[in-house]
Structure 1
Amino acid sequence: MKKGIIFDLDGVIVDTAKYHYLAWKKMAAQFGYDFTEEENEAFKGVSRIRCMELLLEMAQVEASQEQINEWLFQKNQDYLAYIEQMDQEEILPGVLTALSFFKSRQIPTALGSASKNARPILEKVGLLSYFDAVVDGNDVSAAKPDPEVFLVAARQLGVTPEQCVVFEDSTAGIEAAQRAKMGTVGIGHTDSLGKADVVFAQFTDMDETFLNGLLTA
């Protein structure tokens, strides 16, 4: 029986992925590089530092660590400016129904995200109260696909990793959850999330029977 639920944030609960893309695209333009949405797929669920490394490789740019740190700060400031106006309309379809389902059944629920802005985002969209634990980039040292963020979340929920199910939209996140010995539900396209236990295009494709089944599996 599953006793803990863990959600990723970007692209699963809220559509902040588009704002990350816009911020990285703006950064890439400074390098004279046209960063595409297809390339952005590799950035999903990955730490900001690793994303910067990938972008510099793509754009064939070399820089000092000091300059890289400045760019990382700039990217985050651009991202924060984009999300400043976020509200409940940013919550993806069906997410609130799923969160309410788990809350009504008193199932321990956590957020496990690479984002360092997870808590303020949850506050902005009014979802913080649905989570018993929030583990983000401020709490862990290793980025997905390392399982650290999910293992810490399970520990904070007081359940074993094997008792958890993770909702994820990235290949790195699915790999991290599986390395933690957790069940996985992919949110997105089967072609990129095929290694998940099951994949749905969005939460509205799930019904109560499926959610109940997660808890009794």
Structure 2
Amino acid sequence: MVKFTDIKGFVFDLDGVVTDTSRFHAQAWGQLADKLGVDYPGLGDAVKGISRMDALEMILKKGGLENNYSPAEKEALATEKNTNYIQLIQNMTAADILPGMADFLAELKDNGYGIALASASKNAPTILAKIGLSDYFTKAVDPASLTNGKPDPEIFIKGAQLLGLAPTQCIGLEDAVAGITGINAAGETSIGIGDCDLLHEADINFSDTSQVTLANIKHVMND
């Protein structure tokens, strides 16, 4: 692991790291799965951290429906899910920021660290505006510019590039296995937030966002 003094920037996932929109995603996908007649009890965890089209393919395969729809029809289904999701997130406020994250972002800014967003969500600007954190994420990877979704490292590499930094100078924060895999493949130091058994490939593990502070990260990296 690199030393803490080498770190100049932080690359954030959004869902489950800055704010908890995963429940809204799960609810919106659940509405679509019900419409398609697909019973998927573990849907919430299965779709965490992957792109919209990859999540749709997962649901269709679960129901044996992957060959029943044309690409255009699949796009329409994904759009329908997104419409459901957008309706669900309209009432988000600063109260939906995960514990400690507003303070951590302020701490990073005050100490001169670069901050970038690496979220596959095309709704990220709307969400950040709703919860009042847009000013921290003036640098954000455009999901439309991506060739590959997580666990491919592309989004995290682009996050570092937006900050003008090498991947080794960055820490990536994620709550999903696919994200941790992507951060590690990008050559960045990975912080996994959540179940440490599930996220065991992360360089650093915190059980929840309230533990994410510069002091705690420095302590772990310099041990």
SS at match of 1:193: coil
SS at match of 1:167: strand
* CA RMSD of superposed structures (Å): 1.7
Q: How does 1:28-107 map to 2 (within 5 A)?
A: 28-36=33-41, 38-61=42-65, 62-107=68-113
Deviations 1:128-181 (A, max 9, x none): 111241114233221001111111111110100111101100100000000000
Cα pair 2:49 2:150 within 8 Å, conserved? yes
Cα pair 1:142 1:148 within 8 Å, conserved? yes
Cα pair 1:24 1:75 within 8 Å, conserved? yes
* Gap regions ≥5 residues in structure 2: 1-5
CA distance in 1, matches of 2:162, 2:211: 29
* Gap regions ≥5 residues in structure 1: none
SS at match of 2:117: strand
CA distance in 2, matches of 1:66, 1:11: 30
SS at match of 1:5: strand
TM-score w.r.t. length of structure 2: 0.91
Count of residue correspondences: 216
Deviations 1:101-131 (A, max 9, x none): 1011010011101111111111111101112
CA distance in 2, matches of 1:27, 1:107: 40
* Amino acid across the alignment from 1:149: I
CA distance in 2, matches of 1:216, 1:108: 21
Q: Runs of at least 4 residues of structure 1 off by over 6 A? A: 214-217
- For residue 69 of structure 1, report the CA deviation from its aligned partner: 1.3
User: Could you tell me which residue of structure 2 aligns to residue 128 of structure 1?
Assistant: 134
TM-score w.r.t. length of structure 1: 0.94
Cα pair 1:3 1:215 within 8 Å, conserved? no
* Amino acid across the alignment from 1:29: D
